Amino acid sequence: MPSYISDARLNSYEAAFCGATAGVVSRFFTAPFDVVKIRMQLQPHRTQFQLKHANLNDIKYTRILPALKTILKEEGIKGLYKGNLAAEYLYLLYNALEFCAYREIELAIDKLDSQKQLPSSAKTFASGMLAGSAATTITYPLDLLRTRFAMQGSHDQQYTGMVQAIKLIYRTEGISGFYWGVWPALIQIMPYMGLVFTTYDRIASTFKAGRDNGTLSKDHKPFHDMVSGALSGIVSKTAVYPMDVVRKRLQVQGPSRTHYVIDGIPDYATRSCFKCMKLIAEQEGVSSLYKGLTVSLVKVAPAISLTFFVYEKTKNTIIDWKS
């Protein structure tokens, strides 16, 4: 039996279209927070869980609103959308692939589990995990481009456009340069997307049960979907966030420090993702593995919320149109 996310009335292409629409809309509204998060992640200062113990004079991006103001003042409105073109392509393709793959994988698992022995949450987690892994692997070069564009300031423009960036990375790093940091990404995305889909499905299904028995108003379904998405995003992102920090550090450095170096960041290029994590914890403090977490949660809550909200609205529109 399909989960709350899937619907037997949608085919794979329609699920992909719903996912693509959701990804584009979500990305547009959350892009500035993504730029701030990346800038915070790439700062090499030592942190404590409470910034009051750190020397704030040495930290350029300390909190969300001041960081947004700083970027806006120094780089203009375009600074808040650096890397957004690559990111829009990324989110469009990623969400299309993910929701399409999720539907197919869920159906395949359902057929294999003909005796219905697996818990529904286990099926949802496995479907989300595998769908997220497939989508991440295929779209990873766009994610790397998005990161490198977003981390550029106003005076260190190494990448000036999509085509120029692709040519430069290919010339200086080869094909493998487009996949630098892919292993931390996959290690992060597997539990992350598994948790996102499982948590969303459980919360949304609870809301649905309330609507079905009359406890909750059916008119509030869009709000229920948005709350379910926001909560699933917060829980999932917090659980896997350290791997996201490692991934960003590897993406920026590339295969060697001679390619692109941010002053003060240690050389992670020859280390595994777990050794990178250990190095960050040793040199910058354990809490540095959570640099940018607050802004990430401020971004991910509305991002996942909007993604599932737009997905559900698009899904319902297609179903109504077909009926």
Instruction: Classify residue 1: in a domain, yes or no.
Output: no
Q: Which pLDDT belongs to residue 263?
A: 45
Question: How many other C-beta atoms are found inside a 10 Å radius of the C-beta of residue 45?
Answer: 17
- Confidence band for 22, pLDDT divided at 50, 70 and 90: very high
Number of domains in the chain: 1
3-state secondary structure string, the chain?
CCCCCCCCCCCHHHHHHHHHHHHHHHHHHHHHHHHHHHHHHCCCCCCCCCHHHCCHHHCCCCCHHHHHHHHHHHHCHHHHHCCHHHHHHHHHHHHHHHHHHHHHHHHHHHHHCCCCCCCHHHHHHHHHHHHHHHHHHHHHHHHHHHHHHHCCCCCCCCCCCHHHHHHHHHHHHCHHHHHCCHHHHHHHHHHHHHHHHHHHHHHHHHHHHHHHCCCCCHHHHHHHHHHHHHHHHHHHHHHHHHHHHHHHHHHHHCCCCCCCCCCCCCCCCCCCHHHHHHHHHHHHCHHHHHCCHHHHHHHHHHHHHHHHHHHHHHHHHHHHHHC
Region 260-281 average pLDDT? 63
pLDDT for residue 237 is more than 80: yes
d(CA 81, CA 118): 44
**pLDDT, greater one: 188 or 133:** 133
Per-residue pLDDT of 122-149, as tens digits, reads: 999 999 999 999 999 999 998 888 888 8
Instruction: Classify residue 134: in a domain, yes or no.
Output: yes
**pLDDT, greater one: 85 or 145:** 145
Q: Which pLDDT belongs to residue 46?
A: 56
**Dihedral sign of CA atoms 131, 132, 137, 138 in order:** positive
- Confidence band for 268, pLDDT divided at 50, 70 and 90: low
pLDDT for residue 271 is more than 70: no
Instruction: Classify residue 5: in a domain, yes or no.
Output: no
Token pair of 137 as six digits: 């692997």
pLDDT for residue 45 is more than 70: no
Residue from 110, 5, 87 nearest 38 by CA? 87
Share of the chain above pLDDT 70, in %: 87
Q: Which of 5-14, 54-63, 148-157, 202-211 has the highest average model confidence (pLDDT)?
A: 202-211
Give the CATH number, domain containing residue 302. 1.50.40.10
Q: CB neighbours of 317 closer than 8 A, spacing ≥ 6?
A: none
Instruction: Classify residue 223: in a domain, yes or no.
Output: yes
CA 15 → CA 97, 135, 142, 278, 313, distances in Å?
A: 9, 14, 22, 40, 12
| pTM for this model (two decimals) | 0.73
Region 162-173 average pLDDT? 91
pLDDT for residue 188 is more than 60: yes
Token pair of 45 as six digits: 């200062």
Least confident of 74-78, 160-164, 216-220, 262-266: 262-266
Q: Which pLDDT belongs to residue 257?
A: 46
- Confidence band for 229, pLDDT divided at 50, 70 and 90: very high
Region 268-278 average pLDDT? 68
- Confidence band for 225, pLDDT divided at 50, 70 and 90: very high
Per-residue pLDDT of 98-108, as tens digits, reads: 999 999 999 99
Instruction: Classify residue 225: in a domain, yes or no.
Output: yes
Token pair of 121 as six digits: 């949450």
Instruction: Classify residue 110: in a domain, yes or no.
Output: yes
User: Is 291 in contact with 245 (CB distance < 8 Å)?
Assistant: yes
pLDDT for residue 8 is more than 50: yes
Token pair of 285 as six digits: 């403090």
The domain containing residue 75 runs over which residues? 12-322
- Mean pLDDT over each residue of the chain, to the nearest integer: 83
Least confident of 77-81, 215-219, 230-234: 77-81
Q: Which pLDDT belongs to residue 289?
A: 86
Instruction: Classify residue 146: in a domain, yes or no.
Output: yes
- Confidence band for 266, pLDDT divided at 50, 70 and 90: low
**pLDDT, greater one: 253 or 288:** 288
- Confidence band for 75, pLDDT divided at 50, 70 and 90: confident
